[in-house]
Structure 1
């Protein structure tokens, strides 16, 4: 049995999404009567990261690849496992990846508190079945930036970094 040092969130093929706990009931996932479900809206986002309105807040969509994702609080970063033989190999490459990444444009995300990361196809009311990852964020604005990095010849990962901003 493989033991993991961090909790990884998997996707069934679509994007992962970090939804503030306060607005979870408003995320309908792939369900809904509308022509475009919340899941469809998440799939339409172009690029590695984006924001979608949910209730009176916004959710962070991790797009491009449905890679397994963990949150490393020491780095304030979601790490997306694209290629590595082991978790230890991937995690040991994070400091180099953070230092050498070519970051995309920053966006601003106002967070009301903790968020849950899960497969965007799940409704917010059913996240208990989706094996979500709870990320304890302090309420306030964050700068969000994303990059893909290759810290080793056989190690590729995605990074989505959250940096608290002064209010």
Structure 2
């Protein structure tokens, strides 16, 4: 089983970015099975991730599934207090918000306005690693990743988009208790 030695600084939110494609949250237990853009096949794991439609989808990896955060490249952070991946929509040069405290301060208020897509059911075997889907799993923890502490269990995953200004918006992906 792969382990990540991720320095966690209380109160500091870590953002992950991709080189242009989707991000993926792979359970640590199956990181070695994610080949990213590597491979001799006609369709790589990265190609499969790019084919996931919408803001979020699940993709088989090993004997479980990983969460693909798709649609477009966006700086992404995980906020454990909300069980939420927050994705900053790419913005123009006039956008003053950026991935800082002001942007994150908007999250609790926009949760009430979010219109959530129907939830997907996801069985999670334990902690996840969020990284650029183009990278192979064995190299995922070298740079540009976030470790997400989830206890094994069944979760509901749903996505929403909330505009926060003329040049900004948040894509939200909630990972929480499954819908009854």
* TM-score over 0.5 for the pair: yes
Looking at structure 2, the residues matched to 46 and 130 of structure 1 have their Cα atoms a distance apart, in angstroms, of 27
State the Cα distance separating 1:165 from its structure 2 match. 4.1
CA contact (8 A) 1:93 1:152 kept: no
TM-score by structure 1 length? 0.92
TM-score by structure 2 length? 0.86
Looking at structure 1, the residues matched to 134 and 126 of structure 2 have their Cα atoms a distance apart, in angstroms, of 22
State the Cα distance separating 1:153 from its structure 2 match. 4.8
Looking at structure 1, the residues matched to 132 and 82 of structure 2 have their Cα atoms a distance apart, in angstroms, of 22
Residue 98 (structure 1) aligned with residue 111 (structure 2): yes
Out of 53-62 and 150-159, give the one that drifted further. Answer: 150-159
Aligned to 1:64: 71
* Divergent runs of 4+, >6 A: none
Aligned to 2:12: 5
1:29 to 33, 36, 57: 36
Residue 52 (structure 1) aligned with residue 59 (structure 2): yes
Looking at structure 1, the residues matched to 28 and 136 of structure 2 have their Cα atoms a distance apart, in angstroms, of 12
Alignment of 1:1-167 (within 5 A): 5-82=12-89, 83=91, 85-86=97-98, 87-165=100-178
* Secondary structure, counterpart of 1:13 in structure 2: coil
Give the number of the structure whose residues are more often strand, by fraction. Answer: 1
Please, which runs of 5 or more residues in structure 1 have no aligned partner?
none
Please, which runs of 5 or more residues in structure 2 have no aligned partner?
1-10
State the Cα distance separating 1:11 from its structure 2 match. 0.4
RMSD (Å) for aligned C-alpha atoms: 1.6
Looking at structure 1, the residues matched to 55 and 160 of structure 2 have their Cα atoms a distance apart, in angstroms, of 8
Give the number of the structure whose residues are more often helix, by fraction. Answer: 1
